[in-house]
Amino acid sequence: MSSELTYAYYPGCSGLSTSLDYERSTRAVCSALGMTLKDIPDWSCCGSTPAHTVDHVLSAALSARNLALAESMGVQSVLTPCPSCLTNLKVAGHRMEKDDFKKEVNALLDHPCANSLTTKSVLQALVQDVGMDKIAERVRKPLKGIKVAPYYGCLMNRPPEVMDFDDPENPVSMDRILQALGADVLDFPLKVECCGGSFGVARKDVVVHLSGKLLGLARDMGADAVVTACPLCQMNLDLRQSQINAHLKETFNLPVFYYTQLAGVALGLDPDHLLLKKLVVKPWKVLHKIQEPEAAAV
């Protein structure tokens, strides 16, 4: 196993619960593509949105505890699938480049963080470290015949100075992966619009309005499914789709996949490892649309 594809892995709290399907399918796809994910031992929560709305040093310290743990693992990079974790870990690293800030953060920690590692998303590692050719080569069951709307959410590539990957207004990394997997990828104009984020519990009206817009456009463009890279986006669009329908008097019935689940399908991985049955809007009809390789070749 080449050491450059070995990473300290930060799953994020939702990966143990609401986005277990993202978590499992991420591990399955990374393993199939020759990446080694070593879990950060005893990792803790990055604080997500609540922490940085309370204080920036507190938020950075909650992330830095994990970065410090990763520093003892003998790797160059920390990898996370979740855009919210990603932004917290990266912003913490970015701000700790200033000594004063770093000192304040380390004052809250038991073990100081040297801030010596880079953090990237699994998406970034797939595109830059594994590469599109290798992904395309590994496809066993191309996603022929399904039309998908790639939806990145707001945080994956923003702010650009910190995230330093892809385009903040029109990211294409997930589009390229889905194309390499054989899907018909729509040019989805709302790919970085907000879904309402963490307001689902406190202000459902916000999520219903914003996520409803996303589902509406995806449907009107003829998408068979929406594809996400974010646990919160997936939950708002999938689990809350019935609430959106009730509030907006709509009849949306769009499956919302994690891109790693569709990648797993295309790579021919064991469906049980992709946890497709966790999806609230049933994906089976869409998955049956995928043409068999023989039929597609004719």
Partner 1 sequence: MECIRLDSSINSGFIDQVARESEQDPYLCYQCGNCTAGCPNNFVYDIPVHRIMRLLQAGQKETILGSHSIWLCATCESCTTRCPNNIDVARIMDVLRHMARREGYVTEKRVKQFNDSFLHSVQKHGRVFELGTVMRFVARTGRFWTDVELGPKVLARGKMATRAHNIQGKEQVSKIINRFLGDERK
Q: By the criterion CB under 8 A, which residues form the site for partner 1?
A: 13-14, 16-18, 20, 42-45, 47-58, 61-62, 65, 107-110, 154-155, 158-160, 168-169, 192-194, 196-206, 209-210, 239-240, 242-243, 277-278, 280
Minimum Å gap between C-beta 295 and partner 1 is 32
Within the chain, how many helices (H) and strands (E) appear? 15, 8
Residue 249 Cβ vs partner 1, minimum distance, rounded to whole Å: 16
- As a whole number of angstroms, the distance between CA 183 and CA 106 comes to 46
By the 8 A CB rule, do 266 and 227 touch?
Answer: no
Laid out side by side, the sheet with 256-258 consists of: 184-185, 147-151, 225-228, 256-258
The least CB distance from residue 42 to partner 1, in Å, is 5
Which C-beta is closer to partner 1: that of 136 or that of 154?
154
Looking at the Cβ atoms of 138 and 240, the one nearer to partner 1 is: 240
Residue among 176 and 278 whose Cβ is closer to partner 1: 278
Select 47 or 264, whichever has its Cβ closest to partner 1. 47
Residue at 185: amino acid letter: V
Q: Which is nearer to partner 1, 3 or 251 (CB)?
A: 251
Q: How far is the CB of 45 from partner 1 (least distance, A)?
A: 4
Residue 107: CB partners within 8 Å, gap ≥ 6?
none
State the minimum distance, in angstroms, from the CB of residue 238 to partner 1: 9
**Separation of alpha carbons 170 and 152, rounded Å:** 10
Number of Cβ within 10 Å of residue 53's Cβ equals: 11
